[in-house]
Amino acid sequence: MKRLSVLLGLLLVGSLVILTTLQAQETYSVGPASATNVTTLTQVITGQNGDICARYGLVRTCTQAQVCTAASTPGGASCTAAQARTAQVRIYPLTQPGREEYVTQEIALKKFNELVAAQASENKRAFCVGWLAANTTQRNAACTDLSLATGCDPGC
């Protein structure tokens, strides 16, 4: 019976590793956009690209190379898309791949990061509810479980 428990435990751990690996390889996409949506998105990107150019005293139709140079971005006139995004001077191409990059980087990723921050805040709130309801013995055990000294203060 002990051997069966060990085997079931190993199977569960193996399944979790496989599940985690599969989750790490997921890809998401937004369905097809209508012609009207593509036109609207192109207008939004054109406006934001123009604002970036204007911020550096360039014409609103500047190129990625021009704004990277003006912003002293690593890579200068040959900066990569990632370097430009890091410096917040990405000029998104008005092509299907450029619009897709914009949707991913400027809409989906920003919203996802907001959700991650909100979830972290919720996790802390839930922890603090439990912490405040716990007695001293339970709190000390939690501190020890986290490799902290008894009497630790999690800031709740």
Spatial CB neighbours of 77, under 8 Å, sequence gap ≥ 6: 65, 66, 68, 69
CA distance 2 to 153: 40
Q: Are residues 84 and 105 in the same domain?
A: no
Question: Given pLDDT bands bounded at 50, 70 and 90, which one contains residue 27?
Answer: confident
Q: What is the mean pLDDT of the chain?
A: 85
Is residue 3, in this structure, part of any structural domain at all?
A: no
Q: Are residues 105 and 122 in the same domain?
A: yes
pTM: 0.63
Average pLDDT over every residue of 10-34? 58
Q: Are residues 41 and 89 in the same domain?
A: yes
Question: For 28-32, 42-46, 60-64, 148-152, which range has the lowest pLDDT when averaged over its residues?
Answer: 28-32
Q: Are residues 108 and 86 in the same domain?
A: no
Give the number of other Cβ atoms within 10 Å of residue 78's Cβ. Answer: 12
Q: Are residues 55 and 104 in the same domain?
A: no
Question: Given pLDDT bands bounded at 50, 70 and 90, which one contains residue 154?
Answer: confident
pLDDT of residue 54: 98
Q: What is the DSSP letter of 94?
A: S
Tell me the CA distances in angstroms from 92 to 37, 74, 156, one per residue in order: 17, 18, 43
Is residue 83, in this structure, part of any structural domain at all?
A: yes
> Domain end: 94, 121, 140, which one?
94
Question: Given pLDDT bands bounded at 50, 70 and 90, which one contains residue 9?
Answer: very low
Is residue 135, in this structure, part of any structural domain at all?
A: yes
**Total count of domains within the chain:** 2
Would the pLDDT of 17 be above 80? no
Q: Are residues 66 and 109 in the same domain?
A: no
Enclosing domain of residue 89: 35-94
Q: Are residues 87 and 118 in the same domain?
A: no
What are the tens digits of pLDDT across the range 43-91? 999 999 999 999 999 999 999 999 999 999 999 999 999 999 999 999 9
Higher pLDDT, 151 or 10: 151
CA distance 144 to 129: 19
CA distance 156 to 154: 6
Which of 68, 90, 72 has its CA nearest to residue 81? 90
Q: Are residues 147 and 113 in the same domain?
A: yes
Higher pLDDT, 24 or 146: 146
Q: Are residues 109 and 59 in the same domain?
A: no
Question: Given pLDDT bands bounded at 50, 70 and 90, which one contains residue 12?
Answer: very low
Average pLDDT over every residue of 119-139? 92
